[in-house]
Amino acid sequence: MAKKNEVKIGSGEVFLPIADGGIKAGFASPVWGYLDNGIDLNRELVKNPASTFYGRVSGSSMTGVGIEDEDILVIDKSLQVRDGDIAVCFVDGEFTLKRVKIDGEIIWLLPGNPNYKPIKVTKENDFAIWGVVTYSIKNVQKKNSGKKISVGREIKTSRAKK
């Protein structure tokens, strides 16, 4: 097991430090004192390695549920789809990512974006569920031309006196 602030690479595992005490999304909190032993994202995100694959999203039909173009999905083929799951589906020769709605004998594939129409799947369709999405990994540092500073650099600010 990796020690604090140590990166361990070997036998397919990559342990990176994790701030496991919780990173506050409210008021600022010092995080470095809370770094714990490492975490291997494959071990954390992949429960069934033999039946799990990653997929990169292409398109905007699921933006309303937080899945955007170029996000990386963790998809497990061993899971049975349940009503409400987000799944990678094969419909009439094409792959699509949608929320599954089971309505008796009919399956609806629901987009997460109102600009797209639901897909009604019936016995006449060539249909298969390729896997259930278990995690979505996104790049929150979008390409931009904003000003940059070095990570870890202390920023001094001054407040105007009244």
User: What tokens appear for 146 in the block?
Assistant: 């904003």
The answer to whether 138 is a known catalytic residue is no
The answer to whether 61 is a known catalytic residue is yes
- Do residues 59 and 72 touch, judged by C-beta distance below 8 A? no
Rounded distance, CA 63 to CA 76, Å?
A: 21
Rounded distance, CA 107 to CA 118, Å?
A: 10
User: What tokens appear for 154 in the block?
Assistant: 């202390």
- Do residues 67 and 136 touch, judged by C-beta distance below 8 A? yes
Enumerate the β-bridge partners of residue 94: 91
State the catalytic residue, choosing from 61, 120, 147, 158.
61
State the catalytic residue, choosing from 51, 77, 98, 143.
98
User: What tokens appear for 27 in the block?
Assistant: 């008021």
Q: DSSP 3-state helix, strand, coil percentages of the chain (rounded to 5)?
A: 10, 35, 55
Residues labelled as active-site residues: 61, 98
